[in-house]
Structure 1
Amino acid sequence: MGNPQVKVSDKFKAAVSQEEARLGYLHPTPEDIPTCMGAFDNFLSCNILGTQLKSIYRFGEMAQCSAKWNEFKFCMSIKGLHPEQRRDAWIRHRAEWWARRRLGLSSENVWETRTEPLRDYPPPLPPQHAMEALVE
């Protein structure tokens, strides 16, 4: 039996590689990556009263903004790098985030995928004469 940790690690590496390629395509130049000011704005918008009230209404708890704060801190930590290095670091960081999200739990872990349609669904219509009797 194989080591499950290795399989997860291989899956994670493959997912990161795929995400790096996708993000590299979407953000071809250093000017295309989000700014630190944008990350800070996202953090602040998470903490405003309206966002917090909406979160309490929808989920019964206040919005957790620590991930947005961490994104801002990461952005500030790479701000001094050469623009191309900053782009590469940002792409790697986001690719790892997307890979963790892709490999984490989702509705696919809860529901079994159907391989064939349900039998007798939708239910067959009653004969036409029965429908006419219902109308009268």
Structure 2
Amino acid sequence: MSSVDFETAVKQEEAYLRQVHPTSDDIPSCMKLFDNFLQCNVVAAQMKSLYRYGQMSECGQKLEDFKFCMSNKGVHPQEKYDAWIHRRAEWWARRRMTNSSEDVWEVRTEPLQGYPPVRSNLDSSQTVE
């Protein structure tokens, strides 16, 4: 579980997403989101989920993403971009705040001290050829 509060996690995710998706052209189109929803429901995807996780895929979030996109269809591209970044950041922050099988470490805010180790000159027993 993360040691930061939800609002801080959202701000961190927003900053990251703005770097990964720097312009409004970098966010998925409504058509792409609809395709993602449809692909989630095909038999092959459902069978893979059933095999891997023992249950059918839940595609509700993909449908909600598509509906959110359609609700912003007439909005200025910058406002649509900001809304998409914020919505996605909240989704990632919620994932960070809850337990997951992927929890193996926490995100570092500073580099690990003394790593990588600095290699000193070669020992007298080693020779350079």
Q: Do both proteins adopt the same fold according to a TM-score greater than 0.5, normalized to the shorter chain?
A: yes
Shift of 1:59: 2.0
Q: Specify the alignment match of 1:82 in structure 2.
A: 76
* Partner secondary structure for residue 38 of structure 1: helix
Q: Counterpart amino acid of 1:12?
A: F
Shift of 1:63: 1.0
- List structure 1 runs of 4+ shifted beyond 3 angstroms: 107-110
Shift of 1:74: 0.8
Q: What is the CA–CA distance in structure 1 between the aligned matches of 2:41 and 2:75, rounded to whole Å?
A: 29
Matches within 5 A, 1:1-136: 11-107=5-101
Query: Which ranges in structure 2 are unaligned for 5 or more consecutive residues?
Result: 105-129
Q: What is the CA–CA distance in structure 2 between the aligned matches of 1:107 and 1:64, rounded to whole Å?
A: 17
Equivalent pairs counted in the alignment come to 102
Query: Which ranges in structure 1 are unaligned for 5 or more consecutive residues?
Result: 1-7, 111-136
Specify whether residues 23 and 108 from structure 1 end up closer, same or farther in structure 2 by C-alpha distance, changes over 3 A only: closer
Q: What is the CA–CA distance in structure 2 between the aligned matches of 1:59 and 1:20, rounded to whole Å?
A: 30
1:103-136 deviations in Å (ceiling 9; x for gaps): 11134879xxxxxxxxxxxxxxxxxxxxxxxxxx
TM-score by length of 2: 0.72
Q: CA RMSD in A?
A: 1.9
TM-score by length of 1: 0.69
Task: With a CA cutoff of 8 Å and minimum separation of 6, indicate the structure with the bigger relative contact order.
Answer: 2
Shift of 1:29: 1.1
